[in-house]
Amino acid sequence: MTFENLNLTPSILKALKDQNYSQPTSIQEKAIPLVLERKDVLGSAQTGTGKTAAFAIPIIQHLENDDNRSSGRRRVKSLVVTPTRELAIQIAESFSAYAKYTQIKNTVIFGGVKQGSQVNALQRGVDVLVATPGRLLDLMNQGFISLKDIEYFVLDEADRMLDMGFIHDIKKIIAKLPRDRQSLFFSATMPKNIVDLSRQILRDPQKIAVNPVSSTAETIQQFLYKTNKSLKPALLLHILDNPEMKQVLVFSRTKHGSDRIVRNLRKKDINSAAIHGDKSQNQRQRALKEFKQGKVNVLVATDIAARGIDIDKLQHVINYDIPNESETYVHRIGRCGRAGEEGVSISISDAEELTYIRDIEKLTKQKITVIEDHPFPQTDKPMNASEKKEFEKEKQRKKQEFFANRNKKRGAQNPGFRRGRR
């Protein structure tokens, strides 16, 4: 199967050739014909399967064939809603690439930056709008965006959208859409709340499922280093000392953890940057751009910030913290080894995280290769139930003690200080 077999227009085929795309991925092969037939689609597909092209290419072809734009300002005919800024930017870039030899125009809107340039782009007129929910509703409420002309609607990464608390925003957006439209709905997982939401959006949808979330690419080698929690920073440096580690995506569970990793790496003159929710949009974009350009060797990210990151030929992913959800592990390591390329996933586990490793192996039905010979072996033992209970109790006590001392100190420095006063 080639893209030529999918009855695409010469302009789109030419653009795909520029991108060195010759054969469609599984989801593209299944979805593109259905979308071209103007069917609603319910797609189950994880990040890295090529789903952006699966909906962008046929939408561009529809818009190109319709070619009913008036001589006045372009009206928004297609809307793509996605949860994160990074993903929105990348989807817009994909639309631009595939529509390179057409007259189709797109723009992207997201929060965290001033809206002026986004409003200007909208006022010039666009055919395709890619948006995050919050900024979309803001500009709708201000009268800068109308959805009355929407013919093609895409809800992408629906499960992550709900995880991030966007369910009410999504329902508000849906309520403003014309009833007569084609809708495409993509989600990595299909729990009941996602299925219920899809029923509000889709009419008689065609269902497609690709690469269940339990599967990992055969091209990805998976390795496990067991160590103590306190030794993780040193072990990470040891791993990164390998000259093959030229471009590495490191996953941290928390924002503060990401920043701490970067500080430790920079002390050893390793070019690194962090992306997470506390970083400004400009900081995140700059870090991602420099990583892609090779100016930053190690990009440290939280799961939400990394959603939708698409880096060609990325070979190395490191799980500095093991995720407590096995599906998240599959999403993480799916960042490397794409499009048939080889990839290497390295997980660094302390004693308490070994239970997550067992869950991952159970889900993926694969054993992760353990690296025994390294300078920072695991000597800690997992806590039993009573030890864990005592540990949590002590942690809570120390937390309360910290805040009590901090407030006492503030009170001494400022006699007028009262906790909780505004």
Place of tokens 């992913």: 317
Q: Are 236 and 70 in contact (CB under 8 A)?
A: no
Do 18 and 151 share a domain, yes or no?
yes
Specify whether 162 is located in the same domain as 234: no
Residues 188 and 306 both lie in one domain: no
Q: Is residue 371 over pLDDT 50?
A: yes
Is 153 part of a structural domain of the chain?
yes
Judge if 198 and 242 occupy the same domain. no
> How many independent structural domains does the chain possess?
2
Taking 70 as the threshold, does the pLDDT of residue 88 lie above it?
yes
What is the model's pLDDT at position 326? Answer: 81
Range of the domain at 48: 3-209
* pLDDT category of residue 72 using cuts at 50, 70 and 90: low
More confident residue, 130 or 276: 130
DSSP assignment of 339-366:
GG--EEEEEEE-GGGHHHHHHHHHHHT-
pLDDT attached to residue 417: 47
Per-residue pLDDT at 213: 58
Q: What is the pLDDT of residue 325?
A: 76
- Asked whether residue 346 is domain-assigned, the answer is yes
Q: Is residue 164 part of a domain?
A: yes
Q: Tally Cβ neighbours within 10 Å of residue 182.
A: 21
Q: Look at 309 and 239; give whichever has higher pLDDT.
A: 239
pLDDT recorded at residue 153 = 97
First to last CA, the chain: 65
- Tell me the C-alpha to C-alpha distance, in Å, between residue 396 and each of 253, 392, 420: 20, 6, 20
Q: Are residues 17 and 88 in the same domain?
A: yes
Residue 69 clears pLDDT 60, i.e. is over it? no
The tens digit of pLDDT for each residue in 372-415 reads 999 999 998 876 666 666 766 766 777 677 777 766 666 666 65
- 202 and 257 in a single domain? The answer is no
Give the range among 102-106, 259-263, 377-381 with minimum mean pLDDT: 377-381
Question: What confidence category does residue 260 fall into, taking pLDDT thresholds of 50, 70 and 90?
Answer: very high
**pLDDT > 90: what percent of the chain?**
54
Query: What average pLDDT does this structure show over 182-211?
Result: 89
| 247-280 b/e (C-beta count within 10 Å ≥ 16 → b) | bbbbbbbebebbbbbbebbeeeebebbbbbeebe
Q: Where residue 278 sits, what CATH number does that domain have?
A: 3.40.50.300
How far apart are the C-alpha atoms of 217 and 333, rounded to whole Å? 9
Interval 126-185: pLDDT, tens? 999 999 999 999 999 999 999 999 999 999 989 888 888 899 999 999 999 999 999 999
If pLDDT is split at 50, 70 and 90, which confidence band does 18 have?
A: confident
Asked if residue 159 and residue 62 are part of one domain, the reply reads: yes
What is the band of 206 on the pLDDT scale with cuts at 50, 70, 90? very high
| Residues 33-45: tens digit of each pLDDT | 999 999 999 998 7
- Tokens (6 digits) for 287: 């870090």
Domain contains 199: yes
pTM metric for this prediction = 0.61
Do 119 and 268 lie in a common domain?
A: no
Q: Transcribe 70-118 into DSSP letters.
A: -SSS----EEEE-S-HHHHHHHHHHHHHHTTTSS--EEEE-SSS-SHHH
297 in any annotated domain = yes
> Considering the chain, what is the average pLDDT of its residues?
87
Domain boundary at 209, 243, 271, which? 209
Domain endpoint, select from 209, 234, 268: 209
Calpha distance 162→307 (Å, rounded): 14
Q: Please give the structure tokens belonging to residue 258.
A: 């990401």
Instruction: Specify the amino acid at residue 199.
Output: R
pLDDT for 422 equals 38
Q: Phi first, then psi: what are they for 240, rounded to 5°? A: -70, -15
Q: Is the domain of 268 the same as that of 338?
A: yes
Inter-CA distances, 151 with 6, 63, 96, 200, 202, Å: 22, 9, 19, 16, 13
Same domain? For 228 and 205 the reply is no
Q: Give the count of beta carbons closer than 10 Å to the beta carbon of residue 173.
A: 22
